[in-house]
Each structure stands twice: as C-alpha cells, then as structure tokens.
C-alpha cells in the first residue's frame, strides 16, 4: 500500500469524508495517506490472525531508493 510520511501530522475529518464542507488539498492528501496506513495495519493484523503467509505493508515512495526521478532531471547523490 502506498502511503506517505504526510500521515504523521494528518487527521481524518470523519464528519466531512467527501470534502463537501471544506477542501484543503494538503489536509486531504495527509488524511488519505493516514487512511491507507490504517488500512494496511488492520489488514496485516487480520492476515496474521488468519495465519496467512501474506504480509500487508506500507511504503513512502519518496524515500525509497529507486531511479524514479531519472526522467525528471533529478540526480541521486
């Protein structure tokens, strides 16, 4: 599951899940990444309880060692 470190300061607005009342993109982004993290933690807990060999994990791709930026003129040092 793709998440982000943005979840660390995020909250989910349970009273406005569809952003009908308010939309601040950074708040909604962080909330969506928090929801993803809650999902993969719960999924992993349930998989372990069922003795499944599958593991649910979350990643923050921005800090992963990849060559994702190779076409964007970014250099890795």
Q: Encoding tokens for residue 58?
A: 């979350």
Considering the candidates 1, 29, 32, 36, report the single residue annotated as catalytic.
Answer: 29
Q: Please tell me the number of Cα atoms within 13 Å of 62 on its side-chain side.
A: 4
23 is catalytic: no
Query: Residue 58 and residue 36: Cα distance in Å, rounded?
Result: 8
| pLDDT tens digits, 5-17 | 888 899 999 999 9
Domain locations in the chain as residue ranges: 1-12+24-63
> Which residue did the predictor score with more confidence, 70 or 7?
7
Query: What are the backbone angles phi and psi of residue 76, rounded to the nearest 5°?
Result: -110, 130
pTM (2 d.p.):
0.74
DSSP state at residue 77: -
Count Cβ atoms within 10 A of the Cβ of residue 4 and give its class: 0-12 exposed, 13-18 middle, 19 or more buried: buried
**40-55 pLDDT per residue, tens:** 999 999 999 999 999 9
Q: In terms of pLDDT, which residue wins out, 27 or 68? A: 27
Cα–Cα distance for residue pair 27/11, rounded to 1 Å: 8
């Amino acid at each position: 599951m793709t998440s982000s470190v943005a979840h660390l300061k995020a909250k989910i607005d349970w009273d406005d899940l569809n952003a009908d009342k308010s939309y601040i993109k950074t708040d909604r982004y962080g909330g969506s990444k928090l929801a993803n993290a809650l999902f993969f933690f719960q999924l992993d807990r349930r998989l372990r309880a069922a003795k499944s060999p599958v593991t649910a994990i979350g990643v923050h791709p921005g800090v992963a060692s990849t060559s994702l930026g190779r076409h964007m003129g970014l250099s890795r040092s």
